[in-house]
Amino acid sequence: MSTPAHPTHHIPVVIVGGGQAGLSVSWYLQRADIDHIVVESGTLMHAWADKRWDNFTLVTPNWHCRLPGHAYDGADPDGFMTRDEVVAWLSRWLDTFSPPVREHTTVTRVHQPTAHGFQVTLHSQVADAGAGDEILTCDHVVIATGGYPLPVLPPYASSLDPTVAQIHSEQYFHPDQLPEGGVLVVGSGQSGTQIAEDLHLAGREVHLAIGNAPRVARTYRGRDCMTWLAEMGVYDIPAQQYPGGRVAQEKTNHYVTGRDGGRDVDLRQFAREGMRLYGALTGGKDDHLTFAPTLTGSLDRADAVYNSICSDIDRYIDAQAIDAPPASRYEPVWTPDTDPTALDLTAAGIAGIIWAIGYRPDYRWIEASAFDGAGRPMQTRGITAVPGLSFIGLPWMHTWGSGRFLGIDRDAHHVADAITTALRRDNPGTHASPVGIAS
């Protein structure tokens, strides 16, 4: 029988999650002399080293990497850091300040017993940390656990042939961890397409089931497309004003890669080189899978988005009278003869499946009326209608840049400033300096 949890002490702010988003809020709170603690279930920013495959690279240019007081200053601003280079860059940032951290500690409950203030239950994963859980009380809680922490598997995964190895994309590190034979990758978002390429370049026989993810050119008219879009202000448009609204925001991110200096991900070219493509996977049992006849349409729509973004850049270049190389359009290098609707895993020699179909939210441990029917936080720039409860690091929390390095500094500054202002208002004796201006 476990020892009951017991209250210990009060601290103004508890940040749940020690990734770059939570630590950015901590950076600003330290600057404002706000007492707080960062609670991390593992070690600080461990996901970069522990949940990225060996050949992972950023898909955004290095110059997008901006954290409080620590912008990328290396020799290749238009390049793309590898996993290990990102880990090293983040480590150098941590050397510039000392956040108050409780590592190897899980927050199991956030409870609001009164209209103001929270109880936060902590569970230490360290064997000799003492018996029972610990409860902190605080005025503000910042949830920085990431937008979607639980990997998604389809309900029929358990009914497939048990001799076929199955892993989620977050468990993939290198081709050799999978049994010899073909590999089916399910999902054509950024992770799915890059993992399929990683396997393809390693000489594995790859089958790829694609969904509705769009694509984008890596470079166009002499510059990286994401550099053009940033200059055009696309990443700064508030979510409420973004064309297409929530429908546009919920679409899968455009697939592209930063590998080997950056290039397009062209699934049609992969098919020419032997990769087998399918439409959306709809079901499976034993060694038989079924697919919707959507391959041709999915490829065409992804290319249409690719060319549409190029057209947007063309209009910007013309409007600004920028001297740039001539415009062009992508022309398909391969088209499917038919849209396959079935696959026999045994006959095709497939020994492994990688599920790259995303993640889902899990905030069951937060007892507050701050979520919609799908379990997603209802917030504006990270601030919820629940006094003292805020979020950081969510996709589209404020702009398209939120949830990625480009937007974290600005988002963290806003959340920290809101907390500092509230603490000064509600506790006049609290010493709190202004957080300053986001760098």
What is residue 339's DSSP assignment?
-
Token duo for residue 349:
């020699």
Token duo for residue 393:
């690091």
Arithmetic mean of pLDDT, 103-132 = 84
Give pLDDT, residue 3. 40
Cα 419 to Cα 16, 33, 161, 278, 438, distances in angstroms: 15, 12, 52, 49, 15
Mean pLDDT across the chain, nearest whole number?
Answer: 92
Contact 125, 104 (CB under 8 A): yes
Give pLDDT, residue 4. 44
* 306-324 pLDDT, tens digit each: 999 999 999 999 999 999 9
Query: What CATH number does the domain located at 6-149+361-426 have?
Result: 3.50.50.60
Enter the pTM of the model.
Answer: 0.92
Alpha carbons 352 and 340: distance in angstroms, whole number: 20
Alpha carbons 22 and 42: distance in angstroms, whole number: 14
Which residues are CB-contacts of 277 (< 8 A; sequence separation ≥ 6)? 207, 208, 210, 267, 270, 271, 295, 299, 336
Identity at 211, one-letter amino acid code: G
pLDDT higher than 90, residue 343: yes
* 50-69 pLDDT, tens digit each: 999 999 999 999 999 999 99
Token duo for residue 65:
């990497």
- Domain ranges for the chain, please list them: 6-149+361-426, 151-355
Contact 379, 391 (CB under 8 A): yes
Arithmetic mean of pLDDT, 183-187 = 98
Give pLDDT, residue 113. 78
Tokens 């988005």 belong to which residue?
305
Alpha carbons 14 and 137: distance in angstroms, whole number: 9
* 386-410 pLDDT, tens digit each: 999 999 999 888 888 887 899 999 9
Decide: helix, strand or coil at residue 299.
helix
Query: What CATH number does the domain located at 151-355 have?
Result: 3.50.50.60
What is the number of other CB atoms lying within 10 angstroms of the CB of residue 321?
6
Give pLDDT, residue 432. 52
Tell me, yes or no, if the two domains 6-149+361-426 and 151-355 fold the same way. yes
